[in-house]
Amino acid sequence: MADTDTLNIDCIIQRPLKVRGSKPDFKACREKEAGCRETRNTSERMKWLVWVLLLCSSVMAQQHRDSTLDHHWNLWKKTYGKQYQEQNEEVARRLIWEKNLKTVMLHNLEHSMGMHSYDLGMNHLGDMTSEEVITLMSSLRVPSQWQRNVTYKSNPNQKLPDSLDWREKGCVTEVKYQGSCGACWAFSAVGALEAQVKLKTGKLVSLSAQNLVDCSNEKYGNKGCNGGFMTEAFQYIIDNNGIDSEASYPYKAMDEKCQYDAKNRAATCSRYIELPFGSEDALKEAVANKGPVSVAIDARHSSFFLYRSGVYYDPLCTQAVNHGVLVIGYGNLNGRDYWLVKNRSIT
């Protein structure tokens, strides 16, 4: 939009929500081994012992691999373009992959017997641990002194649609690439604002998550690729009187110097509204009446990053939120209520 145009746009945020519906540092390991070899007080005999132990460990790891899965391992690597710099790394990744594969197979067996409402798949994250995925994907920094300012006015007597998908109304942009930058909070925020711009102007425009990563900085408690929070992103947009478009300020998946240019402003935000803590009734009403809503969830479980289809539900989910996403709808499948959630790709 033109620089002089200012829309009275409300952005809505909710946390936490139960969604239903770090690489091993091989360089550090090598440096540690080098440091051991260079220790002045270590004898040559001890050096040989270290190398023998390392060799034995590698051989033992090789022996624990299931050789019957060699073909499937190579097929999976080819499918997702996986390449490893060192043999030790491939061995470690293979063992993680086999563990995740077992998790997927057992879960899907239980799913076939009606024990779960969703199934899992060996996607591009199949050679990573839950801790690594959390490091890449989950980077919320909930303000330590955050006081929820609940201003949303509920109408409990209102009849809401049984199901809703804002994609059908053209209010949701494509799933975006997050990479190894902890910018989930930025993507969640721009997703909510993109929908509001569409509802106000009739135009769906991708907004710049990189603008938030670079410019919504420590003044707002955000730390770029090291994490942030959606309310602070909205506050930056309000204070800055705008945010640039994705086309003019593309995503780089890394921290850079702020390059906001008011000439490329694509949206503004007049205020944001917070929903009552953990209220799914209020969330449903807000999604139905206002549009997609930024939410925070617990995404620390392998069932989350290996999810393939169905209504996701993990009883281990807590209110310890660590990941920002966008609720774009809701519905019911086979008697189970669900939220329709937009996430990002991280690799």
The confidence score (pLDDT) of residue 62 equals 53
pLDDT value of residue 347: 57
**Cβ atoms of 217 and 237 closer than 8 Å:** no
Q: Are 326 and 173 in contact (CB under 8 A)?
A: no
CA distance 58 to 294: 46
Q: Which two tokens stand for residue 65?
A: 């691999």
Residue 247, C-beta contacts closer than 8 angstroms, at least 6 positions apart: 206
Q: What is the pLDDT of residue 104?
A: 98
Instruction: Provide the pLDDT for residue 40.
Output: 40
Where does residue 205 rank: exposed (0-12), middle (13-18), buried (19+ CB within 10 A)?
Answer: middle
Q: Which residues pair with 310 in a beta bridge?
A: 118
27, 28, 32, 35, 43 from 40: Cα distances, Å: 22, 20, 15, 10, 8
Kindly indicate whether the domain formed by 10-22+133-342 is annotated with CATH number 1.20.1560.10. Answer: no
CATH 3.90.70.10 in the chain: give the residue spans: 10-22+133-342
Active site residues: 184, 323, 343
Write the single-letter amino acid at 339.
W
* Mean pLDDT by groups of 10 residues along the chain of 347 residues: 46 58 37 39 45 47 79 97 94 96 98 96 94 79 66 80 98 92 95 98 98 94 93 97 98 96 97 89 95 94 93 91 95 93 80
Specify the pLDDT at position 307.
94
**Contacts of residue 276, Cβ cutoff 8 Å, sequence gap at least 6:** 148, 150, 152, 282
* Spatial distance between the Cα atoms of 316 and 101, rounded to a whole number of angstroms: 20
Q: What is the pLDDT of residue 151?
A: 67
